[in-house]
Amino acid sequence: MAGNRAVVYVEPGKVEVRETDYPDLVLRDGPGVNPLNVGRKCEHGVILKVVTTNICGSDQHMVRGRTTAPSGLILGHEITGEVIEVGRDVEFMKKGDLVSVPFNIACGRCRSCKERDTHICEHVNPDRPGSAYGYVDMGGWVGGQSEYVMVPYADFQLLKFPNKEQAMEKILDLTMLSDIFPTGYHGAVSAGVKPGATVYIAGAGPVGLAAAHSAQLLGASVVIVGDLNAERLTQARSFGCETVNLREHPNLGEQIEQILGIPEVDCAIDCVGFEASGHGPGQGEAPATVLNSIMQVTRAGGRLGIPGLYVTGDPGAVDEDAKIGTLKIRLGLGWVKAHTFVTGQTPVMKYNRDLMMAILSGRAQIAKAVNATKISLDQAPEAYKAFDSGASRKFVIDPHGMTN
């Protein structure tokens, strides 16, 4: 039987590429696998030869030791691959199909899935609704930063590219359909971005850049991106965004007023999450900073999209409350301004087909927006370090050297 190699979380600050088991159509026991999921048969699944798999900021939370992820966990939830084996119960996916895998694992059978809320599927994670590949407390489904991976519920979940040759020409864009592009787009849709809207986006990492590009696609008149990292802000300006350096200029409202003439925007998107830092030079971690600041600068009646990750367990948090996800959020401010908040994982399947067509038509240029950078599987540990240090790149792993 063929072998397999994968990126594995070892300990805080350390990942390794290791030999691992070739996947089959059963969820076996292993690091992070929920005991109630062990032995789960997946004849509705497929085995993929991974074409591209991306490093995500959510992975970095685990690698920094900011979750309860166990050592040995195989990472990776952003997967694009070629079908090489199909289960007995798979009817529509065929060997050779090139597909995008939504990072949400969803059965297609439960009430949530039938209502298109595939991010809170009720059947794939015994602990709570919602699941993902290679992620802590998500049921233990094996991650896809590897050469080969098993994907369950293939007929329901997989997005097949209509033309394989055309797809390979745009693979650096299409690889973003598994998570980052739908996540950024979901943030923009949740925030109510529409033609003419003014938008503030907190965070110029890959998700923030994807949200900015999405806001442009939705017709925003001005997109303002704020961050503490000058390199990432330069990347945001490269495709037409206004920017605010919150390390140099901590008063967000004043900076927005200099751009728009008023100190508020129509809507805002949090693309930072629970590892937020205070604004200004020398500030440390302050996890409620972004949520409080976007309430301050969003107009009354505005909407807040919150695709940034928040967790219920953070062993490295700054205080005991934050360790269980309790943050000092000014909810009263949001209440008096009648804000709408939309939180949670992104239901990728609501958006990925439309975004695929935007990419294939040339309308969306997501790889350029997020500075997609191809690497080999063996380069993944160094890429994790570079990403953690603030590199303005979206690292795309090509395990088999299949892309140009």
What confidence tens digit (pLDDT) does each residue in 24-81 have? 999 999 999 999 999 999 999 999 999 999 999 999 999 999 999 999 999 999 999 9
| Interval 101-158: pLDDT, tens | 999 999 999 999 999 999 999 999 999 999 999 999 999 999 999 999 999 999 999 9
Residue length, the chain?
404
- In this prediction, residue 99 carries a pLDDT of 98
Average pLDDT over residues 326-334: 95
Average pLDDT, the chain: 96
- Assigned fold of 4-179+347-397: Quinone Oxidoreductase; Chain A, domain 1 (3.90.180)
Packing angle of the helix pair 206-217, 180-190 (nearest 10 deg): 60
Spatial distance between the Cα atoms of 134 and 222, rounded to a whole number of angstroms: 36
Domain pair 4-179+347-397 / 180-343, same fold? no
Q: What is the pTM of this model?
A: 0.96
CATH class of 180-343: alpha beta
Residues of the chain with pLDDT > 90: what percent?
A: 97
Residue 299 has pLDDT above 60, yes or no: yes
**Closest listed residue to residue 237, CA positions, set 250, 249, 223:** 223
Spatial distance between the Cα atoms of 390 and 328, rounded to a whole number of angstroms: 26
Average pLDDT over residues 322-327: 92
Q: Are 99 and 117 in contact (CB under 8 A)?
A: no
Domain ranges in the chain? 4-179+347-397, 180-343
Reading the block at residue 323, the tokens are 């360790």
Residue 165 CB partners (closer than 8 Å, separation 6+) = none
Average pLDDT over residues 324-338: 95
CA distances for 400 relative to 66, 163, 366, 376, angstroms: 31, 20, 23, 8
Spatial distance between the Cα atoms of 151 and 112, rounded to a whole number of angstroms: 19
CA distances for 231 relative to 65, 226, 235, 316, 338, angstroms: 25, 12, 7, 26, 35
- In this prediction, residue 313 carries a pLDDT of 87
Spatial distance between the Cα atoms of 47 and 25, rounded to a whole number of angstroms: 8
